[in-house]
Amino acid sequence: MSIKITATSTCDLPAELLARYDIGVVPLYVSFGGNTYRDGVDAGPEDIFRHVEGGGQLPSTAAVNIDDYQKLFAELSPKYDAVIHITIGAEFSCCYQNALVAAEDFPNVYVADSRNLTAGQGLLVLEAAQAAERGMSAPDIVKRIESLVDKVDTTFVVDKLDYLVKGGRVPSLVAMGANLLRLKPSIVLANGRMGVGKKYRGTFEKALDDYVADLLSHGDADLSRAFVVHSRCDDPAIVPAMMEKVRAAGFREVSEAFAGCTISCHCGPNTLGVIFMRK
């Protein structure tokens, strides 16, 4: 059985993994400077950072629309026994709802809600691709993905709250207090929603050291794979250091992933997370 796995661009999977498993990526849209671009195709995070650092307003993002999905499914449906599309969490975007509407015309197209974003979604996409390689049926793959959603541990640390303030997600007084106290908040995804977790004090690098130590202290991590996902880090030594810490914890495969436009619009540069599954 030939099964094609596709995902929204928010999965942030590295190009080598997309190629290895022949995963198709469907771009969301990002708008700034009076123009609309396809995420990861026409514009990337650095374009966003340059725009904001140059005094521009925070960009907005938009879902893959129904017409885009209908064109995609019309192209792929005749070529494969089944197509499975895994979206960014429905709480963050209407991609899932739009894909469901488009899929009604294609009996061999299945849509799964990752209830996640960035490499957390990417982990589920990889699980689907590996299950397809093993010969699992499309309905069983979707059931497996749905069963794993709550096991994905998606968190990241934000250096500054500037972008979250610009986006109206954090009050400016809270950000001012955090900056004065040198606090670096962790963002935790739970039940399909983002919330503020533990707040770390000190430099960004020290905060990340403490964050990684906390993450790996529970002893229930699935050590098969982890992602170190980040937006632009001003200190180029930070990402290799964090990847080495994660490897030292016993993860068998540690991959670097770059946060795409969606996370970058929300959190800005100097954002880093370690994402994996719990047992």
Average pLDDT over residues 111-136: 97
Domain count across the chain? 2
Instruction: Judge if 115 and 13 occupy the same domain.
Output: yes
The answer to whether position 55 is within a domain reads no
Last residue of a domain, one of 149, 170, 202: 149
Q: What's the confidence (pLDDT) of residue 170? A: 52
pLDDT tops 80 at residue 67: yes
Instruction: Judge if 119 and 13 occupy the same domain.
Output: yes
Instruction: Judge if 17 and 145 occupy the same domain.
Output: yes
The answer to whether position 231 is within a domain reads yes
Which residues make Cβ contacts (< 8 Å) with residue 181, sequence separation at least 6? 201
Arithmetic mean of pLDDT over the chain: 92
Q: Which of 28, 53, 55 is nearest to 42 (CA)?
A: 28
Last residue of a domain, one of 85, 116, 149: 149
Instruction: Judge if 171 and 228 occupy the same domain.
Output: yes
Instruction: Judge if 237 and 272 occupy the same domain.
Output: yes
The answer to whether position 58 is within a domain reads no
Instruction: Judge if 84 and 136 occupy the same domain.
Output: yes
Instruction: Judge if 99 and 187 occupy the same domain.
Output: no
Instruction: Judge if 72 and 196 occupy the same domain.
Output: no
Integer angstrom CA distances of residue 131 from 12, 84, 176:
20, 12, 47
Percent of the chain residues past pLDDT 90, beyond the cut? 79
Instruction: Judge if 104 and 202 occupy the same domain.
Output: no
Instruction: Judge if 130 and 100 occupy the same domain.
Output: yes
The answer to whether position 117 is within a domain reads yes
The answer to whether position 50 is within a domain reads no
Q: Which residues of 32-45 are buried (b: 16+ CB within 10 A; e: fewer)?
A: beeeebbbbeebbb
d(CA 76, CA 214): 43
CATH number at residue 102: 3.40.50.10440
pLDDT tops 90 at residue 245: yes
Domain that holds residue 192: 154-278
pTM of the predicted model as reported, rounded to 2 decimal places = 0.94
Per-residue pLDDT tens over the stretch 248-259: 999 999 999 999
The answer to whether position 228 is within a domain reads yes
Confidence of residue 177 (pLDDT cuts 50, 70, 90): very low
CATH number at residue 217: 3.30.1180.10
Which residues make Cβ contacts (< 8 Å) with residue 19, sequence separation at least 6? none
